[in-house]
Amino acid sequence: MGRRRGDRDGTTLGACIIAWMIVGFASAQLTNDFYSGSCPRAPSLVTAAVQTAALVDSTQPPKLLRLLFHDCFLQGCDASILIDSTASNKAEKADPANASVDGYSVIDSIKTILELVCPNIVSCADIVALAARDAVTLMGGPLVVIPTGRRDGTISRQSDVQSNIPDTTFTLDQLLNFFGAKGLSLNDLITLSGSHTIGAAHCSAFNDRFKFNFNGSGQILDASINPTFAKQLLQACPGNPSPTTTVPNDLTTPTTFDNKYYQNLQMGMGLFASDQLLFTDSRSKSGVNSFAQDQASFFSSWEQSFLKLSTVQVKTGSEGEIRKNCRAVN
């Protein structure tokens, strides 16, 4: 979900309450049959395109899910992360925290298809949300019924990124403040962290858990990490790894959306420090244990939390626009 960077201050309770009110009001204007009259094939076309993309490149589904997280955390779920930089404006995707975010080409392909079938109807924001939902289902996760009717934002600034992307070194209090500002609870935090059951991370995202000597050998700094797991990580990511080197978020079943992420946490095998603290902190440990024991419980909670995530501060009605090109405002 996030990327390692510097700490930041938490949000106030008042800001959290206001954010929750905004989320609730906006999501109420979305509907499950929004395109039934204007573009009834839209959802099925998105699903088919995601399936095709996964056949060509199996790394695409996790990327599409991560794309939604990074979109919704900034400006709300309005596809602002898709906008390219211009000579006069550096957009969100220009920030180092979004450097490894991908899936753009799949969204572009879907938008091209939908513009041919239903021009000027389906928003890029809805495409991102539906594609992420379908990516989870394709990898074995639950099918979530999410409403549509999101409109696309017109603002995308690199300067907004650092204060709106969670850090893999955050404490639980910092994570709770961050998620609370988006109208998301402790249970949502535990549940949505389960997205790390798929995908991969660059070495730089977790190398703060080690101290490297001049010869490239590493020393474990984080006592919560399983020593055997730590050796695997140090072997994959020595002192000066290639910038393209990645490690699966879940070494057990990296291509399946399941509850193994939580079982890994029980064994000290959380890839990020912010993952492992969910098990070491008493406030979240019971939730981890519950999901580790019962995948059906995790899936049920995922359906609710994913719905909340996908409707964070959405734009509806006369807000925003329907972009003709997801990479640029009209």
Catalytically active residues are 70
Q: How far is CA 183 from the centre of its chain?
A: 16
């001049």: which residue's tokens?
214
| Burial (CB count <10 Å: 0-12, 13-18, 19+), residue 151 | buried
- Compute the distance between CA of residue 209 and CA of residue 222 in angstroms, rounded to an integer: 5
Q: Is 218 helix (H, G, I), strand (E, B) or coil?
A: strand
**Burial bucket for residue 223 (CB in 10 Å: 0-12, 13-18, 19+):** exposed
> In angstroms, rounded to a whole number, what is the distance separating the alpha carbons of residues 201 and 288?
21
Q: 161: which DSSP letter?
A: T
CA–CA dist 264, 270 (Å, integer): 6
CA 261 distance to own-chain centroid: 15
Q: What angle do CA 204, 210, 213 make, to 5 degrees?
A: 100
Task: Give the pairing of strands 218-220 and 246-248.
Answer: unpaired
Task: Enter the tokens of residue 275.
Answer: 């993952």
Amino acid at 211: K
